[in-house]
A and B are shown apart, each in its own frame.
Chain A
Amino acid sequence: MSVIQWIARFFLAKSLRFVILATAVAILSFTLVSFSPIDPIRAYVGTDMLTISSEQRELISKRWGLDQPALTRLFLWFKQIASGNLGHSMIFDEPVSKVIAKRFTTSLMLMALAWTLSGVLGFIFGSLAGIYKDSFLDRIIRWYAYTLASTPAFWIGLILLTTFSVSMDLFPICCARPPGIGPDEVTIWNHLHHLLLPAATLSVIGVANITLHTREKMIDSMQSDYALYAHAIGDNTFGIGIFHGLRNAVLPAITLQFATLGELFGGSVLAEQVFSYPGLGQATVLAGTRGDVPLLMGIVLFSCFFVYCGNTLADLIYTWIDPRMRKEVG
């Protein structure tokens, strides 16, 4: 079988699976949402509840198509999706695709930075701890990893915020850019300045996991026969770790790194809330608490796609790093 055939088959299978997965996810989330006690009209009207007549309520529900039964709405929604339209957000009064695009560009930088940070830091810490097992360094790293693993990310966010923003005044308290500055005046440093604390908070989710898994794998490699042999011919510990351990240890790290894409999405909801960072996470919270079903469904589908792509990428990277896997797939 040629490479091109292999690639075509791979992507066809993956796309088919995605369609099935996305349909299941959509039906499931729609069912869950329709059991939600939140009344979108009540959430929209809010404190004006008493000055809005029932006739006006009917107008609002008509505008949003809420006067149709739930099954009809789901059917119409699927029909829309099939024609490539994600629908219209109720609370933003904009096409869902536009809202997601806007919000995701803000979140993307945050998530990318956090993701890279957690992957790189986690892998370095894990490798070092594994190579120098039971050393002082290993203890410090393990202590650090256990602490992070048992700490909720939003709490770390609060600590960082109060320490570095409120009392030391090194970082901004909120938002994605300085107040009162036009779009042309915002520099990349402004962006980074506002990003760093939320990204650090968000990276906490991945670091501990990756560190501890990499460490285990590294210890396994360091105790293997080939490591013993390398020792016997005079390689030093660090060299053995780098040349013999690294490739073995990187596989679980990659699996985890790509598997945490889903958690990254979840974590960004909290991190963005703490730092008032206006990304997709914040939009998700709004959509949920105010019953904006089209937006919520759009975000669910989008995150499903995002995570699925991440995992597919992980599959591809395996075959590239580990020749044994290539043979299995082939």
Chain B
Amino acid sequence: MHRHGNFSLTCAILLITYFSLPSSATTATHSNVTELILAIGGERTEGYDPTLGWGRYGSPLFQSTLLKRDAKLNIIGDLAFNWELSEDKKVWKISLRKDVHFSDKTPLTAEDVVYTFNTAAKSGGKVDLTLLDRAEVVDTHTVRFYLKKPQVTFIQRMITLGIVPKHLHGPDYGRKPIGSGPFTLVQWNEGQQMVVAANPLYYGNKPAFDKITFLFVNEDTAFAAAKAGKIHMAAVPQTFAVQKIDGMHLHAVPSVDNRGIMFPALPKQDKKSDEGYPIGNDVTADKAIRRAINYAIDRKALVAGILENYGSPAYGVVDGLPWDQKSGHITDNDLKKAQKILQDAGWRDTDQDGVVEKDGLKAEFTLVYPANDSIRQALALASADMAAQVGIRIEILGKSWDDIPQYKHSNAILFGWGSHDPTEMYNLYYSKKAGQEYFNCGYYANKTVDNHLDAAMTASTFEDSLPHWQAAQWDGETGFMPPGDAAWAWLVNLTHTYFVNDCLNIGDSQMEPHGHGWPITANIETWKWGCP
């Protein structure tokens, strides 16, 4: 959920006007470059402490994690060479590599791992370890995690939580991070830049660059700096990606950074939510309306028209991830099918006003979008036009994020999510999560879906959980995807766009989550220099 003011838009427009002028700066394409300057965001104002949430996406740079995901998002070992779950699925046993040192030369042992997990569980940061009962040392290189209840997504914590040295961790650790990762912190000028150097003690393959500088500037400035040939990589919005920069190419990374319409699944209720907001919408509560919209929308046109083709059609919340249910992807832009669904359910335009009715109820509702996000505004407008073709009238309404909560249970909302953690999907569709924060805003409930989600959560390995996650989306008979209950109408996945120096080879990038910028660093230790 990014907040961009009109101010930054003005900046962008003014800057772009000037970009048409030729730049006199020399581009940084020398041979044998060992120092990089990147503008891809990544500043954490509160510091680089993994126990408070640093490193959940991309590379944790200074620390290393027990497990990690490869370019195809398969889970592979990093600090851990063996990991197994007990019969009752409540105890993880992790065996650690023995050759790992922190950059202060002290060895990384089970003590540090246990300290990191126990500290993160209590610290009240962005690491949710409320599931962890306790972590225990078995011997110098073996640890056990005891869970309060079985939950397969705990493995996500092992993938994202960087291990900190017990003897150095304290209140100012975030500003002096020491760890076992591929890089060490040289300096951090807050609000400006961070300089890191390759860690000579790193146990993995040595990074090809001695020094990397991360500039913390906004996208407009990053683009201007790239244009001036001052940096090797810039994360830019899709609207800038159509431009050309000498000596740089566009690196487009597919993502699950998705946008879609959430529908209230309950009819109007008398009672209000715990936060005091109204619940339910009589029109969107009808499955036929939700399905008709899903089939009527032309997602390819949205991608071409709004995202400059830097995106892909979205049919579910986890498109392209290993737990995506491909059979739930529908053929859209099918007005006939949409009309038939409405007719079969009894929706007919009896008064010839272009909007279908059923028992005196007109098929019209409001779609709320965050007013400061021009892409979501365009998506809302275009979707409303497409739904109008089958006789569903959608009013669109722009509101600030601070206002949206009061609308979230009784109106359709244009949300955007996308995570490498299936917990997100669980929270969006699990019936008991209804009404809390932004979890299951529509009060969607389907017993079969709940059962599949439960089965996935309590699977014995992450691989075993995949078919259950898929079945929850669409098991051939029901599910929350469009062929089933069509709880949401997912519209598009964004493609994240980066300008990269022609000589910088960054390999295959992971499919990225909601964040644009830092996730590109997931494989930063393998980046190489070499001009084609």
A62 touches B124 (CB 8 A): yes
Contacts of B190 in A (CB 8 A): 102, 278
Residue in B closest to A278 when the chains form the complex, CB atoms:
B191
A59 at the interface (CB under 8 A from B): yes
Q: Does B123 contact A (CB under 8 A)?
A: yes
Given contacts A51-B128, A278-B189, A289-B3, contact A162 B17 (CB under 8 A): yes
Which B residues between 121 and 148 are near A, CB-CB below 8 angstroms? 122-126, 128, 130
Q: How many residues of B contact A (CB 8 A)?
A: 71
Tell whether, in the assembled complex, residue A53 and residue B193 are in contact, meaning their CB atoms are under 8 Å apart: no
Contact B224 A173 (CB under 8 A): yes
On chain A, the residues within 8 Å of B3 by CB distance are: 289
CB-CB contacts of B47-84 with A at 8 A, as 1s and 0s? 10100110010000000000000000000000000000
Q: Is B192 an interface residue (CB 8 A)?
A: yes
**Cβ-closest chain B residue relative to A272:** B191
Output the least CB separation between B128 and chain A (Å): 4
A52 touches B217 (CB 8 A): no
The answer to the question of B461 belonging to the interface, with a C-beta cut-off of 8 Å to chain A, is: no
Q: Which of B344-352, B416-424, B464-472, B490-498 touches A?
A: B416-424
> Which residues of chain B (407-447) have a CB below 8 Å from chain A?
417, 419, 421, 423-424, 427-428, 436-439
Chain B positions 199 through 227: 1 when the CB is less than 8 Å from some CB of chain A, otherwise 0:
00000000000010101111001001101
| B46 lies within 8 A of A51 (CB) | no
Q: List residues of A (268-302) whose CB comes within 8 Å of B's CBs.
A: 273-274, 276, 278-279, 282-283, 286, 289
| Chain B residue with Cβ nearest A88 | B171
**A125–B270 CA distance with the chains assembled, in angstroms:** 70
Which of A37, A50, A175 interacts with B192 by CB under 8 Å? A175
Q: Is A225 an interface residue (CB 8 A)?
A: no
Q: A179-B193, A180-B37, A273-B7 are in contact. Are A38 and B213 (CB under 8 A)?
A: no
Tally A residues with Cβ within 8 Å of B. Answer: 58
Point out the residues of chain A lying under 8 angstroms from B126, CB to CB. 44-45, 48, 52, 60
- Contact at B213–A180, with CB atoms within 8 Å? yes
Q: How far is the CA of A274 from the CA of B11 in the complex (A)?
A: 8
B residues in contact with A161, CB < 8 Å: 15
A166→B19 contact, CB < 8 A:
yes
> Residues of B contacting A50 with CB < 8 Å?
417, 419, 423-424, 427-428, 438-439
User: B11 and A179: CB pair below 8 A?
Assistant: no
Selected from B45, B123, B424, the residue in CB contact (under 8 A) with A63 is: B123
- Cα separation A51 to B230 with both chains bound (whole Å): 37
In the complex the two chains form, is B423's CB within 8 Å of A92's CB?
A: no
For A61, the closest partner residue in chain B by CB is: B124
Q: Is the CB of B192 within 8 A of A176?
A: yes
| Contact residue among B19, B123, B215 (Cβ-Cβ distance under 8 Å from A179) | B215
Question: Could you tell me if A183 and B224 are in contact, using CB atoms closer than 8 angstroms?
Answer: no
Asked if A158 CB lies within 8 Å of chain B CBs, one says yes
Residues of A within 8 A of B (CB): 37-39, 42, 44-57, 59-64, 91-94, 102-103, 154, 158-159, 161-163, 165-167, 169, 173-177, 179-180, 182-183, 273-274, 276, 278-279, 282-283, 286, 289
